[in-house]
Amino acid sequence: MLTLHLVNDQVVVQDVAQIKRLRELGICGLLIGTLAKYPQQNTYLLIPLLLSQYESMWLYRNTPCQLVTYPVDSRQKLLESSKSSTSDGEFIVIPELAQTEYIMKDLPALWNYNDIRYKVYSQLKENGWYLMSGFRFGGLFVAYPGDPLRFHSHLVVLPPTPEIELISLIRGGRLASGVKKVWILVDANEDNTKEDTCMFSIEWAGFG
């Protein structure tokens, strides 16, 4: 069973074996650990693995996993009691908190399965796409046909919007074609009770 740690409303995974398992499930996440001697560099990143809200929601709904949270006040109380019970010059032992005491039975309030953005993520995920943040290309997601370490992204998925200006449509289509991708528009006016969302692909083609 996967163990997801909830820290300040962010979900992280701290076990290497579980991170490998996530990769097999098409969940990439983002490594946020750094080297202790060189904390300012971002070339070599380590565990923990930070999961996006959509990745966390999909895992919680589709795979056997448990969501664990450690209240800050509980750890602080244990640390203070440990300090008071040790004399100066001795090592301070930080007690480990039992995970079973803090397994969450309810989902965080910020997780909304009816959110159309999550529906878009889930629909693309079920069709075999690997999804990562599309911020670099002005989108919500970028979609890969396989592991991002082996493939280039093929799709740029725009955040759902009820309407779009013509100039934005042209700009987005040209941008996507310029980086050899297909621009995906999502219909934001659909009924929230539907599982699938309607998507349109835009590919810019030159004339003459």
- pLDDT attached to residue 172: 85
Identify the residue whose tokens are 């100066």: 88
The pLDDT of residue 72: 55
pLDDT score at 40: 85
Question: Are the C-beta atoms of 138 and 157 separated by less than 8 Å?
Answer: no
Segments of the chain assigned to CATH 3.40.1170: 2-102
Confidence (pLDDT) at 63: 92
User: CA nearest 125: which of 38, 192, 6, 28?
Assistant: 28
The CATH topology of domain 2-102 is: MutS, DNA mismatch repair protein, domain I (3.40.1170)
CA 92 to centroid of chain Cα atoms:
35
pLDDT at 34: 87
Domain(s) of CATH 3.40.1350.10: residues in the chain: 116-202
Tokens at 107, concatenated: 């989902």
Supply the pLDDT for residue 21. Answer: 96
Q: What is the CATH number of domain 116-202?
A: 3.40.1350.10
Predicted model pTM: 0.78
**Which tokens go with 143?**
């979609």
Q: At what angle do helices 116-126 and 53-62 cross, to 10 degrees?
A: 60
* Spans of the chain, pLDDT less than 70: 70-110, 113, 189-195, 206-208
Query: What ranges make up the beta strands (E) of the chain?
Result: 2-7, 10-13, 30-33, 46-51, 65-69, 130-133, 141-144, 155-157, 182-186, 199-202
What integer pLDDT is reported at residue 110 of this predicted model? 64
- Strand ranges for 110-175 from DSSP E: 130-133, 141-144, 155-157
Per DSSP bridges, beta strands 182-186 and 2-7 are: unpaired
Across 142-179, b (16+ Cβ under 10 Å) vs e yields bbbeeebeeeebebbbbebeeeeeeeeeeebbebbbee
The per-residue pLDDT for 208 is: 38
